[in-house]
Amino acid sequence: MTSRVCLASVCDKRIAKAVGCRCHKPVWEETILAETQTGTGGLLSIPALLHRNATEFGTVPAFREKEYGIWQTWSWIMVEQEIQALALGLLNLGVNKGDFVAIIGRNRPYLYWSMVAAQSVGAVPVPLYQDANAEEMAYVLDHCGARFVIVEDQEQVDKVIEVQDQLHQFEHLIYLDPRGMRKYDHSHLHEYSHVQNQGRAAHDEYIKELEARSSALTYDDTCVMLYTSGTTGKPKGVVLSNRNVIESSKASCAFDNLSRDEEILAYLPMAWVGDFIFSVGQAFWAGFCVNCPESSETLMNDLREIGPTYYFGPPRVFETQLTTVMIRMEDAGNLKRRMFHHYMDHARKVGPDILDGKPVNFMDRLKYKIGDLLVYGPLKNTLGFSRVKVGYTAGEAIGPEIFDFYRSLGINLKQLYGQTEATVFIAAQPDGEVRSDTVGVPSPGVEIKVGDNGEVFYRSPGSFVEYYKNPESTASTKDADGWVATGDAGFIEEASGHLRIIDRAKDVGKMANGGLFAPKFVENKLKFYPNILEAVVFGNGLDECTAFINIDLTAVGNWAERNNIAYASYQELAGHPQVLSAIQEHVEEANRSVAEDPMLSGCQVYRFVILHKELDADDGELTRTLKVRRRIIEDKYSDIIAALYDGSPKVSTVTDVTYEDGRKGSISATLEIRDAAVVAVSQKMAAE
């Protein structure tokens, strides 16, 4: 502890030059490496990191939020004061050590502070998905037994009140936005700013208690509890300790040289482990600034204004952006369009190599420079990626074309493999070793092994403590030696040491003829077409594979407009014969690509149908992180699946849907089933 403070205070910019270090970080990082096992010099919790940041570089921006059209900024000192006021207010309301404090809302500084305030009074923050419906929330709130719930606005208040009878430990509800709240019964409802004011007023009474509780936090205390989205069954509460979070943040910051100069945009769900690590773990560790968008609709504009240096997005975000760019380029003038395509072709050829520092001849470099001036630079600026130093995509496989598009522009987009139970990081791609088909090498401090059944296991300082109140699941996931099962099937490539993930282990099956069945592998190939938003492939234990397709309304809608095809709804467009033919071409092309893989050539899609509705998390068909829930889809659409296999050309079906306001309804449709050409694999092999 003493050595750290001493070095850091010495390392002021002038002296730093004299002793040959460029900034604070390297100095204290070296000293703390030795202290890893016991925590780093007293920095055993997020509140401790906050205090360090406020003391050492207190005037540097810590949080920003765009409100009333202006970016409002809070420095680390201000953040510490805000969090302290809230923590005192929570003590005033009677929060106990070990209580669970649920947090529900979109990314807002106040809600991040709520998490840290909860930690500083010894309570455990539990962020929830804000778009979860009331029943989903009731399960989680009751499972963790949250006494306090901190929410963003009336919408969330209503949901909690709706289910409060099912919640046994629930006592206090704190809301951020007072709008529309006047008429509510305020006996156990509190406004966020009032709680803070009461906390400030009771400063002298509770400050000793607060300090005692904050300083009592150990490296093994729970830092946060995050519920997994649950592709199967009920969500599970993953308990992460301070050690998990701080060690993972430290290692990953070092891996990508993240410093306090980074800017990030916090826009992914707060309940997701990634957001917790980026916007809290890494942000508090490295001391960089977290920017919160004005609203979900202004996201792209806010992204452009902030120009983050460190960016994170699931593949879907990158896909959507690319689709938008392509649509807008098709609407652009002839000259612009030709210039765009000419230089993008060049970028695809040499861009990734230039990014990786590989040798590229002078003329190509020159042309790339010109392209940068005319096309890539302005495009990156429009996308908000001008300043991105490191960008990550994770959660799902990303299409190689999409991945290469961003990399060819000179954006250092990389892949990451992780999960909640690992505190995100299992494997990541180092600079210069980036490929679209692997997820990289084991992250620092992570050991990886592949089981006999092909399942990937890991052991790391970030491995979760347990599933809350669920020892059976904990035992079946994490063994006595600390190896955690990922549930994913994959292998380590001999030549490069990179990890490759094939599919969820439980989804991998066998075709009737004994060939390997890996639905995700095929689905990803299909989803890489901009017209296809989602695909679900069936065929485990059967002779042939079939697929459900969801079209991308933006891309297909634009195409329809261009070709004067009128449509009134998603359903109508999805059933249009020309759309079916276009999708059929995609499926057949994907089949040709699947046929090239010797292990998985049996997974070609013989028949497919375009669903009459988009798969939706509100209907339980996707998780809140937008992953496909296979079992539920198989049950719900069993009639369509049956029709896919009995050879009928059409199927009539009625589907229950949930509207955004929670009402239920049903839609009926007659869907056309198409056959897709497949490549005869055995013949092909014979021909070769």
Partner 1 sequence: MDEGYTTTDGRKIGGVVMEMKNITLRFGGVVAIKDISFDIREGEIRAIIGPNGAGKSSMLNVMSGFYVPQEGEVWFHGKPRPQMKPYQVAQQGIARTFQNIALFEGMSVLDNVMTGRLTQMKSGLFAQAIWKGKAEAEETENREFAEKIIDFLEIQAIRKTPVARLPYGLKKRVELARALAAEPKLLLLDEPMAGMNVEEKEDMSRFILDVNDEFGTTIALIEHDMGVVMDLSDRVVVMDYGQKIGDGTPDDIRNNQAVIDAYLGVSHD
Phi first, then psi, for residue 656 (nearest 5°) are -80, 140
Tally of helices (H runs) and strands (E runs) in the chain: 26, 28
* Contact indicator for 441, 428 with CB cutoff of 8 Å: yes
Shortest Cβ 393–partner 1 spacing (Å): 25
Please tell me the distance from the alpha carbon of residue 277 to that of residue 268, in angstroms, as a whole number: 11
User: 299-358: which residues touch partner 1 (CB under 8 A)?
Assistant: 301
Shortest Cβ 113–partner 1 spacing (Å): 20
Q: How far apart are the first and last CA of the chain?
A: 67
Which run of H or E residues covers position 38?
none
Using CB under 8 A as the binding rule, whether residue 68 contacts partner 1 is answered as yes
Using CB under 8 A as the binding rule, whether residue 183 contacts partner 1 is answered as yes
Structure tokens at 242: 């301070």
Using CB under 8 A as the binding rule, whether residue 294 contacts partner 1 is answered as yes
Q: What is the DSSP letter of 599?
A: T
* Contact indicator for 463, 478 with CB cutoff of 8 Å: yes
Shortest Cβ 566–partner 1 spacing (Å): 17
Using CB under 8 A as the binding rule, whether residue 59 contacts partner 1 is answered as no
Shortest Cβ 298–partner 1 spacing (Å): 5
Shortest Cβ 158–partner 1 spacing (Å): 12
668 burial (CB, 10 Å; 0-12 / 13-18 / 19+) is: exposed
Structure tokens at 330: 């098709």
User: 641-670: which residues touch partner 1 (CB under 8 A)?
Assistant: 660-661
Nearer to partner 1, 29 or 305 (CB): 305
Nearer to partner 1, 67 or 585 (CB): 67
Shortest Cβ 100–partner 1 spacing (Å): 31
Shortest Cβ 296–partner 1 spacing (Å): 9
The stretch among 51-59, 289-297, 342-350, 354-362 that binds partner 1 (CB under 8 A) is 289-297
Please tell me the distance from the alpha carbon of residue 678 to that of residue 419, in angstroms, as a whole number: 35
User: 419-458: which residues touch partner 1 (CB under 8 A)?
Assistant: none
Residue 145 three-state SS:
coil
* Contact indicator for 603, 517 with CB cutoff of 8 Å: yes
Nearer to partner 1, 94 or 180 (CB): 180
Residue 578 three-state SS:
helix
The stretch among 177-185, 354-362, 628-636, 675-683 that binds partner 1 (CB under 8 A) is 177-185
> How many residues contact partner 1, by CB under 8 A?
15
Q: Which of 182, 513, 646, 683 lies at the binding interface for partner 1 (CB under 8 A)? A: 182
Please tell me the distance from the alpha carbon of residue 506 to that of residue 279, in angstroms, as a whole number: 32
Nearer to partner 1, 69 or 577 (CB): 69
Nearer to partner 1, 294 or 404 (CB): 294
Could you tell me the CA-to-CA distances from 261 to 158, 257, 364, 489 in Å, in that order? 40, 11, 33, 38
The stretch among 17-25, 131-139, 291-299, 425-433 that binds partner 1 (CB under 8 A) is 291-299
Q: Which of 67, 345, 437, 493 lies at the binding interface for partner 1 (CB under 8 A)? A: 67
Q: Characterize 82-121 residue by residue with b for buried, 16 or more Cβ atoms within 10 angstroms of its Cβ, and e for exposed.
A: bbbbbbbbbbbbebeeebbbbbbbbbbbbbbbbbbbbbbb
- What residue spans of 332-422 are helical by DSSP H? 334-356, 362-371, 377-383, 400-408
Using CB under 8 A as the binding rule, whether residue 185 contacts partner 1 is answered as no
* Contact indicator for 548, 613 with CB cutoff of 8 Å: no
Nearer to partner 1, 69 or 649 (CB): 69
Q: Where are the beta strands (DSSP E) in 52-175?
A: 61-67, 70-75, 100-104, 124-128, 148-151, 172-175
Nearer to partner 1, 67 or 220 (CB): 67
Q: Which of 13, 14, 168, 179 lies at the binding interface for partner 1 (CB under 8 A)? A: 179
Using CB under 8 A as the binding rule, whether residue 638 contacts partner 1 is answered as no
Using CB under 8 A as the binding rule, whether residue 597 contacts partner 1 is answered as no
The stretch among 180-188, 316-324, 332-340, 425-433 that binds partner 1 (CB under 8 A) is 180-188
Cβ–Cβ contacts within 10 Å for residue 331, how many? 12
Shortest Cβ 241–partner 1 spacing (Å): 39
Cβ–Cβ contacts within 10 Å for residue 69, how many? 7
Structure tokens at 587: 């499926």
Shortest Cβ 180–partner 1 spacing (Å): 5
Nearer to partner 1, 200 or 304 (CB): 304
Q: Look-up: residue for tokens 């509705």?
A: 613
Shortest Cβ 159–partner 1 spacing (Å): 15
The stretch among 37-45, 65-73, 574-582, 669-677 that binds partner 1 (CB under 8 A) is 65-73
* Contact indicator for 454, 502 with CB cutoff of 8 Å: yes
The stretch among 62-70, 204-212, 217-225, 531-539 that binds partner 1 (CB under 8 A) is 62-70
Shortest Cβ 554–partner 1 spacing (Å): 16
Q: Which of 2, 14, 20, 69 lies at the binding interface for partner 1 (CB under 8 A)? A: 69
Q: Which of 295, 381, 648, 670 lies at the binding interface for partner 1 (CB under 8 A)? A: 295
User: What is the Rg, in whole angstroms, of the alpha carbon atoms belonging to the chain?
Assistant: 26
Nearer to partner 1, 68 or 362 (CB): 68
User: 367-386: which residues touch partner 1 (CB under 8 A)?
Assistant: none
The stretch among 2-10, 66-74, 240-248, 618-626 that binds partner 1 (CB under 8 A) is 66-74
Q: At what angle do helices 315-331 and 400-408 cross, to 10 degrees?
A: 70
Q: Where are the beta strands (DSSP E) in 562-646?
A: 605-610
> Which residues would be at the binding site for partner 1 (CB under 8 A)?
67-70, 179-180, 182-183, 294-295, 297-298, 301, 660-661
